[in-house]
Structure 1
């Protein structure tokens, strides 16, 4: 399905500011749809004099009119005159008689969308009358609030450009609780769900006729950290969202100021009890901090082990034993660097490029024993899951060390290049050097401890394959191909 921007650019010549205004409207009009118990369709006048639907919203509080998506379709002939009058007169047009959609009647209203003092589109408000009954007090207040908001659309006062655009967990919706305020911040009406929210917060009795700011302030504890925007929200002065917490209860509040020709005449306040949601978020934050602390302590312990191996190696008289201990120290240090990176991350993934640049350069310097061998990385490894990071880091460290020790023996100089090609979860990595190359009688990789470790990790941990071949132009190249574990989704689904 085409996006709103695509449809607008295809059918009209609206400028970027007008398109952004339509995006703001569509991003916030679910509130109006729920309050009005009505479908909303955004009709855009086209260059050819037609009207095309570029966005659509269905109410969660009542029966829908359009069971199928109509975005991208043209306005029916019976509806077009009403849309044209709304656009020409810049005034809300209400049909005298309902229009029939098959077996049910629909009450229609056309609202001009005004931006910068001129109409740029029309919102059709369509209410399914199939289940019509005597409205309750709650429904009457819902519809009155919706009427105020659509009138603001026709005057270019809604949506508010100052409203927050970033998502926030626990944002309240109409059914969670609604409060109507007058211009002084006094409660005109509170829905049953809203009253329940504030009763759990500690409010006794009815809210009607009371200043919501005073009621909320009385319940806040002296030691409570208060959001600076709270007074503006509870008085309905700013189109913001905030949380208020006291006595173990947390309410999410969102204010939608109501204006008339620039003068604030009241506000709609949505509220939701998010106590359990905030408690779970705090638990997750605590768990994240605990996991990072564990990685930090593991890193410290591994560095201690590496230091002990270094001390022991220096006391060895056997050159072979001393070299074996230094190699063990290098491997432990590589694992420690993975845990250090994990201790600084917010999730269980590793920025492998940073890790590779640091650890492989160190491995080459140690293995070259004073010779001038440089390492170059090409491409990107990206974010690697923690389950694969340790094994992959060890494999690459062993391959670079092996390339330096065998390819540049005797003080030769040269370059070791690490090439990374990442496609989704598939990783192809090449470790190539311009050293002496493989022995003439070699039929595969060497059989030393390092290559045995590499083979075991490739088969058992990374579930991949590895090939040693001669590098064109001289030297050796090792090609590693693995399918990394899929990255787990975060708490927000990303």
Structure 2
């Protein structure tokens, strides 16, 4: 099935601003559907007729169409309803469908005085039952939004759509304000939501911003954004929190002949959402604090090893302690990167560049060292980051100290691929332009650093290979299997 974007792309005569206007309408038309207890259909011009490009249903009442009507021609389903709206500026009729009576209305959607589509509303007529007060008020607000959608004053370009997590909808609670911000009507759910904040009196007949500002436990003056929304003056969202209770509010100013004459304010009790969000944030902060403390403890260990090396007269012992300090420093650098965010994975490209620079800065060489990193390591989970960091550090350190002791270049290339059955593979190549491998080199009989590298690569289910580079130098290639990173 084609999407709205697909239909708009092939609709003649629409410019980018027209397309954006129709997208904005469809993003927010759930308000109109819920207030009118109606199905909504957006029609666009197509090959000499009108075709349904988008369809939504209400969550506040019964739907009219069980099957989606997107892709159907207007005359096939609704006769001349859409054609008459395009010709006359509005159309309305009642048709029978089995034992039901379907009330249908249609109006052009305009931008800059031009017709860019047709919006139709479809709802079931009740069989003589008197309307409740809620239904009467919902219907009046629905009629106003329908008129504003047709003349281009709703949705406002700056209006937030209802897609945000926790955004209020009509079923959560709705109020109608007059031009001065006085509540003319409040649904039962809206009244309950405001009372959970601590307000015990009536709401209807009261100025909403004063109700919010006088809540027990409300400290200081109201935030300007909250005041604008509570007065219905801005098409925006704001949250109010008093103690453990939280209320999300969204205002839709009602405009007639370019003048604001009231507003619809949709509200939702989001106390539980905020509580759960706070719990998640607390857990994330705890994880970050743990990484931070581990980093600090590792730096302390490195400092103690550094102090100990100064008291050791033996040159080989000093060198061994210096190597230990470097390895602990690599682990500390990885935990420092983890402690700066909430995620349990990190962008390893930054770690690789910083580690490479740190090794070069402290390397004892007789000449300049040129370093280069290409490709991408991607996101690496904390469980794998330490091992990958140590492997890379050992290989670069070995290249600098033994491959190019008089200066030269080191090139690190990383490639990340997902292979059969979703196996995540990282392949890394470290190349220097030094003298090459010593005669008879065997990893199993090499120094401690090489044995550490070999062991860690095998622990990650990978392989490593040392070869001579062309025209000169050493090339080390290793591949490891990484744990998947949740997006």
- Is TM more than 0.5 here? yes
SS in 2 for 1:266: strand
Measured against aligned partners, the alpha-carbon deviations of 1:211-268 in whole angstroms (never above 9, x if no partner) come to 2122222115453573211222112121111011224321111111111111222211
For 1:117 and 1:130, locate their aligned partners in 2 and report how far apart those are by CA, in whole Å: 36
SS in 2 for 1:325: helix
For 1:381 and 1:316, locate their aligned partners in 2 and report how far apart those are by CA, in whole Å: 39
Task: For residue 165 of structure 1, report the CA deviation from its aligned partner.
Answer: 5.4
Confirm whether residue 120 of structure 1 aligns to residue 116 of structure 2. Answer: yes
For 1:428 and 1:437, locate their aligned partners in 2 and report how far apart those are by CA, in whole Å: 21
Task: For residue 314 of structure 1, report the CA deviation from its aligned partner.
Answer: 2.5
- Report what 2:200 is aligned to: 204
Residues 43 and 54, structure 1, Cα contact 8 Å, conserved in 2: yes
Measured against aligned partners, the alpha-carbon deviations of 1:420-474 in whole angstroms (never above 9, x if no partner) come to 11235432211112222224434656532112211222222x3332222332323
- Report what 2:421 is aligned to: none
Unaligned runs of 5+ in 1: 490-494
- Report what 2:30 is aligned to: 30
**Correspondences of 1:56-455 after superposition (within 5 Å):** 56-77=55-76, 79=78, 81-90=80-89, 92-95=90-93, 97-100=94-97, 104-128=100-124, 134-164=130-160, 168-219=164-215, 221=217, 223-224=219-220, 226-408=222-404, 411-423=405-417, 425-442=424-441, 447-455=446-454
SS in 2 for 1:201: coil
Residues 27 and 162, structure 2, Cα contact 8 Å, conserved in 1: no
Residues 52 and 75, structure 1, Cα contact 8 Å, conserved in 2: yes
Q: Quick one: structure 1 residues 134 and 470, their matched pair in 2 at CA, closer, same or farther if it must change by over 3 Å?
A: farther
The normalised TM-score by structure 1 is: 0.91
For 1:360 and 1:8, locate their aligned partners in 2 and report how far apart those are by CA, in whole Å: 50
Measured against aligned partners, the alpha-carbon deviations of 1:20-79 in whole angstroms (never above 9, x if no partner) come to 111111111011111111111110013x31112222211112222333333333324352
For 1:118 and 1:273, locate their aligned partners in 2 and report how far apart those are by CA, in whole Å: 40
- Report what 1:469 is aligned to: 467
Task: For residue 88 of structure 1, report the CA deviation from its aligned partner.
Answer: 2.4
Residues 431 and 476, structure 2, Cα contact 8 Å, conserved in 1: yes
Moved more, 377-386 or 217-226: 217-226
Measured against aligned partners, the alpha-carbon deviations of 1:118-161 in whole angstroms (never above 9, x if no partner) come to 22100121224599955432222222211110011122211112
Q: Quick one: structure 1 residues 2 and 9, their matched pair in 2 at CA, closer, same or farther if it must change by over 3 Å?
A: same
The normalised TM-score by structure 2 is: 0.92
SS in 2 for 1:107: strand
Q: Quick one: structure 1 residues 387 and 172, their matched pair in 2 at CA, closer, same or farther if it must change by over 3 Å?
A: same
Measured against aligned partners, the alpha-carbon deviations of 1:70-110 in whole angstroms (never above 9, x if no partner) come to 333332435252212212222x3111x3143x675432211
Task: For residue 311 of structure 1, report the CA deviation from its aligned partner.
Answer: 2.0
Q: Quick one: structure 1 residues 116 and 446, their matched pair in 2 at CA, closer, same or farther if it must change by over 3 Å?
A: farther
Q: Quick one: structure 1 residues 225 and 476, their matched pair in 2 at CA, closer, same or farther if it must change by over 3 Å?
A: farther
SS in 1 for 2:19: helix
For 1:414 and 1:277, locate their aligned partners in 2 and report how far apart those are by CA, in whole Å: 57
Task: For residue 187 of structure 1, report the CA deviation from its aligned partner.
Answer: 1.6
Task: For residue 337 of structure 1, report the CA deviation from its aligned partner.
Answer: 0.5
Residues 38 and 57, structure 2, Cα contact 8 Å, conserved in 1: yes
Task: For residue 376 of structure 1, report the CA deviation from its aligned partner.
Answer: 1.1
For 2:161 and 2:366, locate their aligned partners in 1 and report how far apart those are by CA, in whole Å: 56
Residues 99 and 107, structure 1, Cα contact 8 Å, conserved in 2: no
Instruction: Calculate the aligned-residue CA RMSD, in Å.
Output: 2.4
Residues 428 and 478, structure 2, Cα contact 8 Å, conserved in 1: yes
For 1:288 and 1:384, locate their aligned partners in 2 and report how far apart those are by CA, in whole Å: 18
For 1:369 and 1:412, locate their aligned partners in 2 and report how far apart those are by CA, in whole Å: 5
What count of residue pairs does the alignment treat as equivalent? 482
For 1:464 and 1:71, locate their aligned partners in 2 and report how far apart those are by CA, in whole Å: 51
Confirm whether residue 43 of structure 1 aligns to residue 43 of structure 2. Answer: yes
- Report what 1:482 is aligned to: 480
Q: Quick one: structure 1 residues 212 and 51, their matched pair in 2 at CA, closer, same or farther if it must change by over 3 Å?
A: same
For 1:31 and 1:384, locate their aligned partners in 2 and report how far apart those are by CA, in whole Å: 42
Residues 287 and 342, structure 2, Cα contact 8 Å, conserved in 1: no
